[in-house]
Amino acid sequence: MKEKLVIGLDIGTTSAKAVVFDKKGKLITEAEELVTTYYPKQGYAEQDPKEVEAAARKVMKQVIGSVDESNYELVATGFCTAMHSLICVDEKGEPSSNMLIWSDGRANAQAERLEAEKGKEIFSRTGTPIHPMTPLTKLIWMRENKDSAYEQATYFMTMKEYLVYHWFGERVIDYAMASSTGFFDVSNRVWDAEALELAGITESQLADVVEPTWELSELVPELKDALDVPDGHRFIIGSADGQLANLGSGATSTGEVNISVGTSGAIRQFVEGAPINEKMETFTYAFSKDTSIIGGPTNNGGIVLQWFKDVIKFPGDYTELIEEAKDVPAGANGILFLPYVNGERAPLWNQQASGNFYGLQVEHTRAEMTRAVLEGIAFNIYQINRSLETLAGKPKKVTVNGGLTRSSIWVQILADILGEDLYFSETHHNAAWGAAWVALVAIGEASSFRAIKENLPGEIKITSNKQNHELYQKVYQRYEKLGQAVTALFDEI
The pLDDT, as a whole number, for residue 217 is 95
Neighbours of 113 (CB within 10 A): 16
Q: Please state, in angstroms and rounded to a whole number, the distance separating the CA atoms of residues 19 and 6.
A: 8
CA-nearest of 171, 188, 170 to 179 is 188
Q: Rounded CA gap, 230 and 233, in Å?
A: 6
How far apart (Å, rounded) are the C-alpha atoms in residues 17 and 195?
33
Closest to 235 in 3D by CA, of 208, 222, 216:
216
d(CA 444, CA 462): 35
DSSP for 307-320, written as a single string: HHHHHTT--S-HHH
Please give the pLDDT value at position 286: 97
- Pairwise CA distance, residues 152 & 240, whole Å: 28
Bridge partners (DSSP) listed for residue 30 = 19
User: Of 181, 228, 186, 190, which Cα lies nearest the Cα of 209?
Assistant: 190
Contact in structure between 243 and 287 (CB atoms under 8 Å): yes
pLDDT at residue 492, rounded to an integer: 64
> In what helix (H) or strand (E) does residue 256 lie, and over which residues does it extend?
strand 256-261
How many CB atoms are closer than 10 A to CB 86? 26
Q: What is the pLDDT along the chain (493 residues), one digit of tens a residue?
A: 899 999 999 999 999 999 999 999 999 999 999 999 999 999 999 999 999 999 999 999 999 999 998 899 999 999 999 999 999 999 999 999 999 999 999 999 999 999 999 999 999 999 999 999 999 999 999 999 999 999 999 999 999 999 999 999 999 999 999 999 999 999 999 999 999 999 999 999 999 999 999 999 999 999 999 999 999 999 999 999 999 999 999 999 989 999 999 888 999 999 999 999 888 889 999 999 999 999 999 999 999 999 999 999 999 999 999 999 999 999 999 999 999 998 888 888 888 899 999 999 999 999 999 999 999 999 999 999 998 888 888 999 999 988 888 899 999 999 999 999 999 887 779 999 999 999 999 999 999 999 999 998 778 899 999 999 999 999 999 999 999 999 888 866 5
The model's pTM is: 0.91
Per-residue pLDDT at 391: 85
How remote is the C-alpha of 361 from its chain's centroid? Answer: 37
Q: Do 69 and 230 touch, CB atoms closer than 8 A? A: yes
Spatial contact of 126 and 183, defined as CB atoms under 8 Å apart: yes
Do the Cβ atoms of 80 and 239 come closer than 8 Å?
yes
pLDDT at 427 (0 to 100) = 75
Residue 264 CA to residue 335 CA, distance in Å, equals 23
